[in-house]
Amino acid sequence: MTEMVKNIEFFDFYLTLIRVLKIVEIFKAKEKFHLTGKKIVMFDFYMRFPFMTEEERKRQNFDEKYAFYFMKPNYSLYDAVLSILVSKKMISYSTNTYHIEQYGEKALKNMECEYMSSLSKAGEYILHNVIKMSDKKINEDIIDRSKNVWEGQY
């Protein structure tokens, strides 16, 4: 089986699952923050393209970012990923927010690698900068960053 969700290859599904699990874990310390599905989708842009918070911007694929954000994220992908993570008891959902569970933490702990380090760095950026912004401001920031990459400013 190569497609988990229509037009989504297994490796894209799997990487999205890992990023979403990492996002939920990052917010473990922010108990009062309501981590909704919509917020997860927006934060995943920063996780999927962590170079946007580092010096590697010039080498990245603008078309991929453009397709991700301007064509709108694939919400059925995120719904499927969140459903699987909840069903596997890696995360839980209550009072309109997602929380990491013991199985999710254990799974992430067993995935130590360079990719996970880059996700952790992107997560720190989200925690220190992005969560202070409104949804509208996050959308504007993503559009602005994508446009700047296209125009060669990064």
Comparing C-alpha atoms, which of 43, 143, 24 is closest to residue 94? 24
Does 145 have pLDDT greater than 90? no
Give the whole-angstrom CA distance, residue 60 versus residue 148: 12
Nearest to 120 by CA among 31, 67, 54: 54
**Predicted pLDDT at 144:** 74
User: Which pLDDT does position 82 carry in this prediction?
Assistant: 96
Place of tokens 């699990």: 21
Are the C-beta atoms of residues 108 and 115 closer than 8 Å to each other? Answer: no
Residue 95, pLDDT score: 87
Query: DSSP state, 90?
Result: S
Specify the pLDDT at position 32: 82
pTM reported for the whole predicted model: 0.81
Q: Is 3 helix (H, G, I), strand (E, B) or coil?
A: strand
- Tally of domains in the chain: 1
Q: Range of 82's domain?
A: 3-150
pLDDT digits (tens, 9 = 90+) for 21-43: 999 999 998 878 899 999 999 89
The pLDDT assigned to 49 comes to: 73
For residue 137, what pLDDT band results from cuts at 50, 70 and 90? very high
- Number of C-beta neighbours around residue 55 at 10 A: 8
Size (the chain), residues: 154
Average pLDDT over every residue of 114-128: 90
93 vs 30, higher pLDDT? 93
SS3 call for 134:
coil
CB-based burial label for 37 (10 Å; 0-12, 13-18, 19+):
middle
- Look at residues 56, 60, 33 and name the one whose alpha carbon lies nearest to residue 121: 56
CATH number, domain containing residue 14 = 1.10.460
Residue 153 has pLDDT above 60, yes or no: no
Residue 17 has pLDDT above 90, yes or no: yes
Over the stretch 46-67, which tens digit does the pLDDT of each residue have?
A: 888 765 544 455 555 555 555 5
